[in-house]
Amino acid sequence: MATGKTVLALDVGARRIGVAVASLQARLPRPLTTLANDDNMLTNMEKIIKTESAGALVVGLPRGLDGQHTAQTDDSLAFAEKLKQHFSLPVHLQDEAVTSKQAEAELEARGKAYVKDDIDALAATYILEDWLSDNAEGEKFK
């Protein structure tokens, strides 16, 4: 079992990273924040990991419409590797097919004003929800 109490999911983009969190016990993901994907990202991520007592990270893995690797796929794989090298936490990949579009549609349906950061954090929530669903027994928390 992971040593932390939560798992964080990341929707990685060139400018922003949406972050969602779920307790390993309750397993109910929620949007947490959006980070700038800049030189301070690792420091800011470390603060979130400590504050949230994270025991694992899940990185969204974008693919093309036919499931093929794209430039974004490669960027996310490199990002996940960077996290593995910097933090001593398990880093998992989760397919993120259309999570940003799903998040945008949900926010529009709510009828409230929103910004791109809201989409990124909600997309991370969908990534985490899918990962938790795919790993209902918790075997990937190790």
Q: What is the pLDDT along the chain (142 residues), one digit of tens a residue?
A: 345 799 999 999 999 999 999 998 888 999 999 999 999 999 999 999 999 999 999 999 987 667 777 788 899 999 999 999 999 999 999 988 756 666 666 666 767 666 666 678 888 988 998 899 888 655 444 4
* 63 located within any domain: yes
* 81 located within any domain: yes
DSSP 140: G
User: Beta 91-95 vs 16-23: how paired, if at all?
Assistant: unpaired
Domain that includes residue 94, residue range: 6-137
* 42 located within any domain: yes
Q: Answer whether 140's CB lies under 8 Å from 92's CB.
A: yes
Task: Report residue 51 as tokens.
Answer: 């504050």
DSSP 37: -
Distances (CA, A) of 118 to 16, 51, 67: 11, 21, 26
Please report the pLDDT score of residue 41 as a whole number.
Answer: 96
1 SS3 class: coil
Q: How many domains does the chain have?
A: 1
28 SS3 class: coil
Specify the CATH number for the domain of residue 31.
Answer: 3.30.420.140
* 48 located within any domain: yes
Q: What is the pTM of this model?
A: 0.82
Please report the pLDDT score of residue 142 as a whole number.
Answer: 46
* 142 located within any domain: no
* 83 located within any domain: yes
* 71 located within any domain: yes
Nearest to 134 by CA among 105, 107, 97: 97
Distances (CA, A) of 77 to 42, 63, 70, 72, 73: 16, 11, 11, 9, 6
- Chain-centroid distance of CA 17 in Å reads 8
* 1 located within any domain: no
